[in-house]
Chains A and B, each alone.
Chain A
Amino acid sequence: MQSNVTKKVLRSRKGNVRKRKKETSEAQLSGAEILLRSLVDEGVETIFGYPGGQALPIYDALYDSKINHILCRHEQGAAHAADGYARATGRPGVCLATSGPGATNLVTGIANAFMDSVPMVAITGQVPQSLLGRDSFQEADITGITLPITKHSYLVRDTSELAQTVKEAIYIATTGRPGPVLIDLPKDVSSSLAEYRRADKMNLPGYRPVLDADPVQVQEAARAIIQSRRPVIYAGGGVVISGAHEELLRIAELLMAPVCNTLLGLGGFPGDHPLSLGMVGMHGTKYANFAISECDLLIAVGARFDDRVTGNVETFAPEARIIHIDIDPAEIGKNVRVDIPVVGDVKRVLGQLLEILKPGLAEAWRDKILAWKKEYPLTYCEKDCLKPQAIIREICRQTEGKARITTEVGQHQMWTAHYYTFTKPRSFITSGGLGTMGYGLPAAIGVQVGCPDELVFDIAGDGSIQMNIQELCTAVNYELPVNVAILNNGYLGMVRQWQEFFYNRRYSHSELLNPDFIKLAEAYGAEGIRVKRPAELAPAIEQAINSSKPVMLDFIVDREENVLPMVPPGGALNKMLE
């Protein structure tokens, strides 16, 4: 019955279209053209995508659109590239795939963007509405599949709704707590004609992000801050997303409050600042974890108390009152008890606080922390072999801490967090919440597209890099001179480390047989450089930086080096393995 009705509607709609076409023939565009026009009108310049049957109308329209389309070599690559583009520029990343397998290949990328609150619009082709629900060729219920990993999604039923849908999708993706929005576009919708009218009104009665915090809560937070003698600021990705880094710096200096960052928060506070404690949590610095354990006030700013940060929540910040500033009310009290919730855009809230705060009285506390920083620095033992930490340090030195760095997931990611000193927001781009191996290379491509004049490095593991290695071809194709630094330990290193610590050194399926990365790079048309000895390190990095091609550096590193310090999962932050 349903399908009869739909058919009828479709038929009559077609009739209307024909009639109207005679009257106003210029104004009629195909759904695909409307899609692209709407994207352009919303300021989108670049799309990362991969074609296929149900996306063909869109690809046909792309043929003469001014939108820049980057053909990735896998839809997952397209999704991560859009994600990297978004994180680097702050503008929404857009990816495009066909129905069925194209759409399901986007899933990891969408989940990744969801976990890290990245503004992204994913567009998928879909089988025509007349075939929906019949297990048609390359049909996948992608709105259903992505329900738990999208901020919102649309299955567009009518070409005339498309402009409105695109506007809303971008608005939802980029405002409030950002996140991915999916638009599923049946082929009949992208090929039928309709009039293009730029959407100007939103129609979202259930969507009202709170930006300005309740002044009463801000006052209460200020009161607690003024009373505190041992404050610590715990700053997350929200600081970066809302662009609150300047406000954060001013508050920290005003209060003399040390700042620790989450993985995604790195760069939101200058890593070389005396008050910077670096990263907190499982692989946090000792002084950051000590500071959390001894503070009397924890000011959480745009962070969500992930279990990789808190360890055992019962022993987390045991002496502290907790202020939680976040744009997402659902984060308040989700994982830990919060004494003073402040819901609002982090930048605005910090601005409001700055108006009422007075200089802090935390000198003694600050001095204690400075002493900890001296006493417990991050260290590794220098040997006569290539140390992964030394490689990160050298990349940091040569790029003056100013490169855009992406990573894959594993030990190399943690060493990057430890030894690259991030001083600017949006300079560290990594998969935090989902921990997606294979993120770094496509993300680096997205970053390079968004920031064509900047130096981009993907710090990679030998395992992870093979998960989206095909994107090296994309980099070569579009002349994107990204640098891939593989810390090649011949292991799924982080897995091996856990097996060493918690499974009696039984290295079950964590040792890798790897391809010759140099030959691989060259086969793709990139440059390959192998580095085995410490003396070769600096010249190799220099060569990569100076090359105008994508470069793959294969660093043969100390194989069984561990990431330390480490809080065992579920442990207390002040009890670290070292």
Chain B
Amino acid sequence: MKHTLSVMVENNPGVLARVAGLFSRRGFNIDSLAVGRTENPRVSRMTIVVEGDDTTLEQVNKQLHKLVDVIKISDLTKDAYVDRELVMIKVFAEPSERAEIMQLVDIFRARIVDVGPKTLTIEVTGNEGKIDAFELSLRSFGIKELVRTGKIAMLRGYKTSTKNNNYKEEEVS
């Protein structure tokens, strides 16, 4: 089963290498990984989609926790959450095909962000299912290039994954 983890990390150099290294070293499969800053400049958030059974996920979780830079891990899959991915697709578009492509763009609520003499570049956001469906529908025109950001995700409603996670200076005797 696929799990979507939200991993809060200290914004230190090398933290991405630590996390990525841990996954490859222990043989965990990463489906996608997206990183960026959060509302707190000292904290970055990684959204990691990882495939595995419960035992694997438990190990992923515990091993990640052992990294000193990792502050908090939440498995969003256990809750209701919203996830999004942004994709850009450069598709071959002969003048005769453009109308049909633009119709698809409308249906999927995508956007054309660049027009070339032989291609259209289309941006679409959505969850995995929508993006896969869109890609499939464009395939017959010929996809020249495709880039995906990887999934980001957030819990629904008032809850957050950052709670109990105020960055405080710890006093140690």
- Chain A residues whose C-beta falls within 8 Å of the C-beta of B171 in the assembled complex: 201-202
Task: Report whether A172 and B68 are in contact in the complex, using a CB–CB cutoff of 8 Å.
Answer: yes
Interface residues of B in 62-99 (CB under 8 A from A): 62-63, 65-72
- Chain B residues whose C-beta falls within 8 Å of the C-beta of A202 in the assembled complex: 169-172
A15 at the interface (CB under 8 A from B): no
Which of A100-108, A203-211, A428-436, A554-562 lies at the interface? A203-211
B160 at the interface (CB under 8 A from A): no
Looking at B58, B62, B63, B68, the one whose CB has the most chain A CB atoms below 10 A away is B68
B10 at the interface (CB under 8 A from A): yes
Task: Report whether B59 and A203 are in contact in the complex, using a CB–CB cutoff of 8 Å.
Answer: no
Residue of B nearest to A343 (CB): B62
Task: Report whether A201 and B172 are in contact in the complex, using a CB–CB cutoff of 8 Å.
Answer: yes
Interface residues of A in 144-203 (CB under 8 A from B): 144, 147-148, 151-153, 155, 171-172, 201-203
Given contacts A143-B14, A147-B17, A155-B13, contact A205 B66 (CB under 8 A): no
- Chain A residues whose C-beta falls within 8 Å of the C-beta of B10 in the assembled complex: 205-206
Task: Report whether A151 and B59 are in contact in the complex, using a CB–CB cutoff of 8 Å.
Answer: no
A569 at the interface (CB under 8 A from B): no
Complex: A202 Cα to B70 Cα, angstroms: 15
Given contacts A148-B21, A203-B169, A206-B10, contact A328 B55 (CB under 8 A): no
Task: Report whether A328 and B66 are in contact in the complex, using a CB–CB cutoff of 8 Å.
Answer: yes
Complex: A148 Cα to B19 Cα, angstroms: 10
A333 at the interface (CB under 8 A from B): yes
Q: Shortest beta-carbon distance, B55 to chain A, in Å?
A: 7
A334 at the interface (CB under 8 A from B): yes
A90 at the interface (CB under 8 A from B): no
Task: Report whether B62 and A329 are in contact in the complex, using a CB–CB cutoff of 8 Å.
Answer: yes
Task: Report whether A201 and B170 are in contact in the complex, using a CB–CB cutoff of 8 Å.
Answer: yes
Interface residues of B in 16-72 (CB under 8 A from A): 17-18, 21-22, 25, 55, 58-59, 62-63, 65-72
B158 at the interface (CB under 8 A from A): no
Interface residues in A, total, Cβ within 8 A:
23
B9 at the interface (CB under 8 A from A): yes
Task: Report whether B9 and A206 are in contact in the complex, using a CB–CB cutoff of 8 Å.
Answer: yes
Residue in contact with A206 in the complex, picked from B25, B63, B70, CB distance below 8 Å = B70
Looking at A204, A205, A206, the one whose CB has the most chain B CB atoms below 10 A away is A206
B168 at the interface (CB under 8 A from A): yes
Q: Shortest beta-carbon distance, A197 to chain B, in Å?
A: 15
Complex: A202 Cα to B168 Cα, angstroms: 10
Residue of B nearest to A177 (CB): B66
Task: Report whether B62 and A207 are in contact in the complex, using a CB–CB cutoff of 8 Å.
Answer: no
Complex: A333 Cα to B56 Cα, angstroms: 10
Task: Report whether A204 and B25 are in contact in the complex, using a CB–CB cutoff of 8 Å.
Answer: no
Looking at A147, A202, A330, A332, the one whose CB has the most chain B CB atoms below 10 A away is A330
Task: Report whether B170 and A204 are in contact in the complex, using a CB–CB cutoff of 8 Å.
Answer: yes
Q: Shortest beta-carbon distance, B84 to chain A, in Å?
A: 26
Task: Report whether B21 and A330 are in contact in the complex, using a CB–CB cutoff of 8 Å.
Answer: no
| Secondary structure class of chain B's binding surface, majority of residues | mixed
- Chain B residues whose C-beta falls within 8 Å of the C-beta of A333 in the assembled complex: 55, 58-59
Residue in contact with B68 in the complex, picked from A144, A206, A330, CB distance below 8 Å = A206
| Secondary structure class of chain A's binding surface, majority of residues | mixed
Residue of B nearest to A330 (CB): B62
Complex: A155 Cα to B14 Cα, angstroms: 9
Given contacts A155-B14, A333-B55, contact A203 B62 (CB under 8 A): no
Task: Report whether B21 and A147 are in contact in the complex, using a CB–CB cutoff of 8 Å.
Answer: yes
Task: Report whether B55 and A152 are in contact in the complex, using a CB–CB cutoff of 8 Å.
Answer: no
Q: Shortest beta-carbon distance, A449 to chain B, in Å?
A: 28
Q: Shortest beta-carbon distance, B44 to chain A, in Å?
A: 12
Residue of A nearest to B73 (CB): A206
Residue of B nearest to A172 (CB): B68
Q: Shortest beta-carbon distance, B36 to chain A, in Å?
A: 18
Task: Report whether B172 and A205 are in contact in the complex, using a CB–CB cutoff of 8 Å.
Answer: no
Proximity string of chain B (122-141) to chain A, C-beta cutoff 8 Å, 1 when within and 0 when not: 00000000000000000000
Interface residues of A in 250-284 (CB under 8 A from B): none
- Chain A residues whose C-beta falls within 8 Å of the C-beta of B71 in the assembled complex: 205-206
- Chain A residues whose C-beta falls within 8 Å of the C-beta of B63 in the assembled complex: 330
- Chain B residues whose C-beta falls within 8 Å of the C-beta of A204 in the assembled complex: 68, 170
- Chain B residues whose C-beta falls within 8 Å of the C-beta of A330 in the assembled complex: 59, 62-63, 65-66
Complex: A143 Cα to B13 Cα, angstroms: 11
Complex: A155 Cα to B17 Cα, angstroms: 14
Q: Shortest beta-carbon distance, A366 to chain B, in Å?
A: 35
Residue in contact with B172 in the complex, picked from A155, A171, A334, CB distance below 8 Å = A171
Complex: A203 Cα to B55 Cα, angstroms: 32
Residue of A nearest to B167 (CB): A205
Complex: A281 Cα to B14 Cα, angstroms: 39
Proximity string of chain A (318-339) to chain B, C-beta cutoff 8 Å, 1 when within and 0 when not: 0000000000111011100000
Complex: A206 Cα to B71 Cα, angstroms: 4
Residue of A nearest to B63 (CB): A330
Complex: A152 Cα to B10 Cα, angstroms: 13
Residue of B nearest to A153 (CB): B14
Q: Shortest beta-carbon distance, A243 to chain B, in Å?
A: 19
Q: Shortest beta-carbon distance, B67 to chain A, in Å?
A: 7
- Chain B residues whose C-beta falls within 8 Å of the C-beta of A152 in the assembled complex: 68
Residue of A nearest to B64 (CB): A330
Task: Report whether A203 and B170 are in contact in the complex, using a CB–CB cutoff of 8 Å.
Answer: yes
Complex: A152 Cα to B70 Cα, angstroms: 11
Residue of B nearest to A144 (CB): B17
- Chain A residues whose C-beta falls within 8 Å of the C-beta of B9 in the assembled complex: 206
Given contacts A329-B65, A330-B66, contact A205 B58 (CB under 8 A): no
- Cross-chain pairs A/B with CB under 8 angstroms, 28 sampled: A147-B14, A147-B17, A147-B21, A148-B21, A148-B22, A148-B25, A151-B66, A152-B68, A155-B13, A155-B14, A171-B172, A172-B68, A201-B171, A202-B171, A203-B170, A204-B170, A205-B10, A205-B71, A205-B168, A205-B170, A206-B9, A206-B69, A206-B71, A206-B72, A207-B68, A329-B65, A332-B62, A333-B58
Residues of chain A having any CB pair with chain B under 8 Å? 143-144, 147-148, 151-153, 155, 171-172, 201-207, 328-330, 332-334
Other contacts beyond A201-B170, A329-B62: 19, CB < 8 A:
A147-B14, A148-B21, A148-B22, A171-B172, A201-B169, A201-B172, A202-B170, A205-B71, A205-B165, A205-B167, A206-B9, A206-B10, A206-B71, A206-B72, A328-B66, A330-B59, A332-B62, A333-B55, A334-B59
| Pairs A-B, 4 closest by C-beta atoms | A330-B62, A206-B71, A202-B172, A152-B68
